[in-house]
């Protein structure tokens, strides 16, 4: 068979792509060859298209898996964010309880009056209120300095029980204070 780029015998002239040259007569054999070439190209195009579809399906599958992994990571990150926020809130509540206990110990009168609202005030304000409340309350009785030295510190014995005869005898020894 002769080269398709040069005409020889009854073969039509063809260009570099294998298509007949323009103006060249088309024969049955050339039309069959062209049809076979077109079918081969269509089959190759279809094979390429199916391969492209397969690759697109694999790519979509990988992209879906990547999105799911990102969502899972975001879900885990979101869960960690929620846990972190809960821990912060618990720490803040514990700090408030500790400050309340500290203020109750330091300023009992002011804390009894203010309650939980005292946390909103500064320590200086609470101390001032404590001083005002302490001065307004009745003073405490003075603490005893010591024992009365005239009184003995030893145990006393209960008095002896007197009978009516004993009482009458004692009265007779006293005398009459109205007789003079």
100-117 pLDDT, tens digit per residue, is 888 888 888 888 888 878
77-103 pLDDT, tens digit per residue, is 888 888 888 899 999 999 988 888 888
| Collapsed DSSP state (helix, strand, coil) of residue 20 | strand
**What pTM was estimated for this model as a whole?**
0.36
Domain residue ranges of the chain, discontinuous segments joined by +: 28-134
Q: How far is CA 94 from CA 97, 102, 121, 146, in A?
A: 5, 12, 18, 46
In angstroms, the CA 66 to CA 60 distance is 10
Considering the chain, what is the average pLDDT of its residues? 79
Least confident residue range of 89-93, 99-103, 138-142, 160-164: 138-142
Nearest to 28, CA basis, from 16, 41, 10, 42:
10
Q: What is the pLDDT of residue 153?
A: 64
Higher pLDDT, 85 or 180: 85
Q: Give the burial string for 13-35 (b: 16+ CB within 10 Å, else e).
A: ebeeeeebeeeeeeeeebeebee
53-74 pLDDT, tens digit per residue, is 999 999 989 988 888 888 787 7
């Amino acid at each position: 068979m002769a080269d398709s780029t040069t005409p020889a015998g009854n073969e039509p002239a063809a260009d570099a792509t294998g298509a007949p040259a323009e103006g060249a007569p088309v024969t049955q054999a050339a039309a069959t060859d062209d049809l076979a070439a077109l079918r081969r190209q269509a089959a190759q195009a279809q094979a390429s298209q199916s391969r492209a579809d397969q690759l697109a399906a694999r790519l979509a599958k990988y992209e879906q898996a990547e999105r799911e992994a990102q969502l899972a990571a975001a879900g885990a990150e979101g869960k960690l964010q929620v846990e972190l926020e809960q821990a912060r809130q618990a720490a803040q509540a514990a700090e408030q309880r500790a400050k309340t206990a500290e203020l109750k110990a330091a300023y009992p009168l002011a804390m009894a009056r203010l309650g939980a609202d005292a946390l909103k005030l500064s320590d200086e304000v609470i101390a001032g209120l404590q001083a005002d409340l302490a001065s307004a309350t009745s003073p405490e009785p003075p603490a005893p300095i010591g024992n009365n030295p005239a009184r003995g510190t030893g145990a006393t014995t209960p008095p002896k029980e007197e009978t009516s005869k004993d009482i009458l005898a004692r009265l007779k020894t006293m005398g009459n204070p109205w007789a003079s």
